Amino acid sequence: MSASKRAAGRLEIAEDLALQRRAWVFERVGWIVFAVVLLAAVVGLFGGGVVGDAEVSAADGALAVEYPRFARAHSPLSIRVRLEPAQPTDGELRLWMSREYAARLDIDHVSPPPSRTELGAERIEFVFPWRGPPGPAAVTFVLEADAGGSVRGRIGAGDGDGVPVRHLLYP
């Protein structure tokens, strides 16, 4: 230990300049880390915000999906699907999500509720009754993940290819 003593008036004060400089560096690094975390929260890295929310649309613009890029496991995750205009067939509107996607996320509820759900080899289809002429439609899925990690899948309408959806789930 290289502590020196310095007389300040009539008091002798022990000082260790090397330790003081290390403390100052540690404090500056802490402020930088704090500023980076605060900036990440503001832009949406922890949910919401500019970076946190995403919207993907089909090439023809008839299907759009709004979803959060970042979410937490064991917390609700809301996905909104818009169809403009919805093209019902035989009085039914069909939305689907890929099975691999649905396998990683639990479906808490769908609003409005579908009249039935059908399982296919690659997809889970949600069938909604439709009355009247084609027009805009919106469906909200509230999902929840059991574990963190990256989740990818596709959401679509009818027989189309759908759009890709990707989340990063914090544990």
Residues 6+ apart with CB under 8 A from 74: 144, 145, 146
Does residue 146 share a domain with residue 89? Answer: yes
Q: Are 37 and 64 part of one and the same domain?
A: no
- My answer on whether 16 and 95 are in the same domain is no
Q: How far apart are CA 168 and CA 171, in angstroms?
A: 10
Residue 53's pLDDT is what? 86
Of residues 77, 68, 75, 117, the one with CA closest to residue 97:
117
Q: Which domain range does residue 155 map to?
A: 52-170
* Together in a domain, 20 and 88: no
Q: Is 151 exposed, middle or buried (0-12, 13-18, 19+ CB in 10 A)?
A: buried
pTM: 0.76
- 84 in the same domain as 23: no
Are residues 67 and 121 located together in one domain of the fold? yes
**Are residues 23 and 88 both part of a single domain?**
no
Both 61 and 121 in one domain: the answer is: yes
Give the pLDDT confidence of 132-149 residue by residue, as tens digits.
788 899 999 999 998 999
> How does pLDDT run across 46-87, given as a tens digit for each residue?
766 777 788 999 988 889 999 999 888 999 999 999 998 777
Q: Across the strands, what pairs with 167? A: 151
Same domain, residue pair 166 and 101: yes
pLDDT bracket for residue 89 (50, 70, 90) = confident
Domain count within the chain: 2
Beta-strand relationship, 53-57 and 63-68: antiparallel
